[in-house]
Structure 1
Amino acid sequence: MAGVSDFANTNTPEKACITVPCGHILIATKWRNTLISNSLQGIKPVYEDNLGYLDFQTGHHMGVVYATEADLVAQAGLRRKLAKLRKANNVQILVLAEKTTSTAQYYQQLQKFVMLELGFSMLPVPGQAEAAGVLSQMVLTESKMESNPFLKKRRPPNLDEALLTTVQSVPKLGAVKARKLLEHFKSLKAINEASVHELSQIIGKAGAQNVRDFFDFPTNGTS
């Protein structure tokens, strides 16, 4: 199987962008013969020892970090890794995190760290098979910039789907109100900084309080 050196003359992907041919995905060798790699459909895996902090690379724009249930519970190591990727700032980062009944409370903590403090995208997946479906879709749409919901550079009024997913995760908010908030405030940071009064003008008092409770929830450590 070809290695990454056959595709681009680069260092590790957190230091330099790697050009990956259409229809291929770079996969850290630790994921070989796992459910996530075996469930990929319609794309060609290339296993690589030198992906650095990334678990997958779907193209030269996008790197993916996969957070398991164990990663969500013991977040310190995962946060350090993500912070190092943020400093490199050479590829867009998507975090796929296993959100299950047992990790829901930890997911919320990580979600705000990833999206508010680091500015990365984050999507919940129930397990590796579903994550493989997301990865396959990313690779298959990599060359179609306008139709790729995982790339951040989109023309208005389209909204980043990962960002919308984050806002929708606020309890009892729903897709319609989440979209209204993003259309009005434009960014997750602005929503986070808005007062209950400002939020209530868009989604009502009850929804505004739910949003404030969500963003005021502690993000350091685990509960």
Structure 2
Amino acid sequence: MKNTSIKSLVLSLLFGLLASSLHAHALWIHTSATTALGKTHAFKVYYADYHENAIEDVADWYSDVEDFEIWLISPSGKRIKLDKVARKDHFEGNFVAEEKGEYQLQISHTAKVLKGTTAYQFNASAQVWVGKGKADLTEQTELMLSRNPKSSRFNVSYKGEPLPDATINILGPDNNSLDFTTGKKGKAKAEINGSGKFFAEVTKTEKFKKDHPSGLKAIWRCATQVVER
């Protein structure tokens, strides 16, 4: 059961304050970057702000964020909606790899607007490699953060096109936070040293013209990826 409408209002106001900030709560997919053919591969999805060391219980997630859908894109381009099971502070699920190449787990969820004139869209992705092989990843979220295989070169795209001058923030396991800016082709090379979990995030706010049919003034988007080394 959801908490009271007062709590929802407070959460909405907090998001209004955070909309112009790079860091806020977001959806994150945790999973290993490699697997094997025929193996059951597990994943977890958290709603968190790792800069604040804040992982929210599912009962406290903003608006209808818990209704997100998670999709698996196979190396040959097959698109499969995956099942998910709610736990105390995350959702979890799994899939079986049947092809060699790169799989992607993708989430894109625009939360129901509780109050105010800004919508919040949460995008998250994870890349899982099965041996070697090319990927046919034609499906993309509106704001997409991805990386090259086994490297720290990141790519940012917006509505299918490379996004230049985007700021990618990476928070390391030592709690150090660094920013990297994409070039003209939407690419950036980040320095990821050491082992552990690295949290990469990019945000973009789109302002709408006056009298937009939705009645909104803007939509705030974020895209995340967890890199485990």
**TM-score normalised by length of structure 2:** 0.28
**TM-score normalised by length of structure 1:** 0.29
